[in-house]
Amino acid sequence: MKLGFIGTGNMGNPMAVNMIKAGHELVVHDLRRESATNLLEMGATWADSPKDTVPGSEIVFTSLPVPRDVEAVALGENGVLEGATPETIYVDLSTNSPTMIRSIHQTCAQKGVAVLDAPVSGGVYGAAAGTLAVMVGGDEETFKKVKPALDSIGTHVVYCGPIGNGSVCKICNNLLSMGIGVLLSEALTMGVKAGVDLAVLADAISNSSGGNKRLTEKFPRFLFKGNFEPGFATALAAKDVRLATDLGREYGIPMELSNLVDQRHVEAMLRGWGPEDSDAVARIQEEKSGVQLRLPEN
């Protein structure tokens, strides 16, 4: 298929690589042209604006940091909608606000342009391996047309219902991931201070009812190594927790614990850790407890 791809950052770049490897023809754009160098070497074509990715593309994808970036790229000057026709399908892979993507969907519908939200989970390792979970919202017939392209980036491509529902699923997931991260940092610092070796503690929990992917996949690659190169930036994790607490307010759902998780991420941001990997948030608990959660390299 002929595809447009906007936002070739930590996630977008490896997703675009896998689309090219699967035989799709890509036109790419990013604010930083250098972020697409490897894609251009693989045969992708450069476009000077989001609008310029549209002509000839059956589907245009975005993978952008925060909702206002998605809004600007989709609806702003020289944006996707300016170049789109009723043949264009626009798919947002970012973790975005359900309310924002529903509003973009409505605006695009006035021009006959179909929109899906398709946020992804699995991190940069999953993106590189092509094993992401993809949570898709929007018209089901449109989903069927887009699925072959999504199958090149993920092994679990799930239809979640009408527009915005993919984002709702993704935000619920990330709230849990970030909340578990905070709780894990408390449990692990306590366990280590109470005398258990971190490797033993992590192994015991991983194989018990408290086990989870944050402990078995994310912490070993980042926190336990003292590696805070993103990965998944703290600023994006803080954005996702806030998307969840905002959604709770919008729908009148009490979310006491989630707001504590939100404030922990605010604190990490105030310390200037936004650009670091989101495992940096656990350093606040390390500081408070006087315990560092690091494992020796094998």
Nearby residues of 181 by Cβ (< 8 Å), 6 or more positions away: 214, 218, 278, 279, 281, 282
Residues 213, 218, 219: CA angle, nearest 5 degrees: 105
- Asked if 4 interacts with ligand NAD (CB under 6 A), we say no
- Asked if 39 interacts with ligand NAD (CB under 6 A), we say no
Rounded to a whole number of angstroms, the minimum distance from the CB of residue 36 to ligand NAD is 9
DSSP state of 233: B
Tell me whether residue 30 or residue 262 sits nearer to ligand NAD (CB atom).
Answer: 30
- Asked if 79 interacts with ligand NAD (CB under 6 A), we say no
Among positions 57, 88, 94, 177, the unique one binding ligand NAD when judged by CB under 6 A: 94
Tell me the residue number closest to ligand NAD, measured at CB.
Answer: 9
Both tokens of 19, joined, read: 């689309």
Rounded to a whole number of angstroms, the minimum distance from the CB of residue 64 to ligand NAD is 5
- Asked if 9 interacts with ligand NAD (CB under 6 A), we say yes
- Asked if 18 interacts with ligand NAD (CB under 6 A), we say no
Among positions 57, 63, 167, 234, the unique one binding ligand NAD when judged by CB under 6 A: 63
Q: 3-state DSSP: the chain helix, strand, coil percent, rounded to 5?
A: 55, 15, 35
**Strand-pair partners of 46:** 28
Under rule CB under 6 A, how many of the chain's residues touch ligand NAD? 27
Please name the helix (run of DSSP H) or strand (run of DSSP E) that holds residue 62, with its range, or none.
strand 59-62
Query: Using CA atoms, how far apart are residues 261 and 244, in angstroms rounded to an integer?
Result: 11
- Asked if 95 interacts with ligand NAD (CB under 6 A), we say yes
Candidates 61, 178, 51, 75; CA nearest to 118 is: 61
For residue 140, count CB atoms less than 10 angstroms from its CB and return exposed for 0-12, middle for 13-18, buried for 19 or more: exposed
Residues 118-147 interacting with ligand NAD (rule: CB under 6 A): 120-121, 123-124
- Asked if 32 interacts with ligand NAD (CB under 6 A), we say yes
Only one of the segments 10-18, 38-46, 180-188, 251-259 lies at the binding site for ligand NAD (rule: CB under 6 A); that segment is 10-18
Query: Using CA atoms, how far apart are residues 8 and 29, in angstroms rounded to an integer?
Result: 7
- Asked if 277 interacts with ligand NAD (CB under 6 A), we say no
- The one catalytic residue among 170, 225, 239, 288: 170
- Asked if 7 interacts with ligand NAD (CB under 6 A), we say yes
Rounded to a whole number of angstroms, the minimum distance from the CB of residue 1 to ligand NAD is 21
Both tokens of 283, joined, read: 């350093």
Helix, strand or coil, per DSSP, at residue 163: coil
- Asked if 116 interacts with ligand NAD (CB under 6 A), we say no
- Asked if 60 interacts with ligand NAD (CB under 6 A), we say no
Phi and psi torsions of 29, nearest 5°: -150, 145
Nearby residues of 86 by Cβ (< 8 Å), 6 or more positions away: 111, 112, 113
**Strand-pair partners of 3:** 26, 59
Rounded to a whole number of angstroms, the minimum distance from the CB of residue 60 to ligand NAD is 12
Query: Using CA atoms, how far apart are residues 220 and 217, in angstroms rounded to an integer?
Result: 6
Residues 198-257 interacting with ligand NAD (rule: CB under 6 A): 231-232, 236
Rounded to a whole number of angstroms, the minimum distance from the CB of residue 72 to ligand NAD is 5
Is residue 147 annotated as a catalytic residue, yes or no? no
Active-site residue set = 170
- Summarize as ranges the residues that interact with ligand NAD (CB under 6 A): 6-12, 29-32, 35, 63-65, 69, 72-73, 94-95, 120-121, 123-124, 231-232, 236
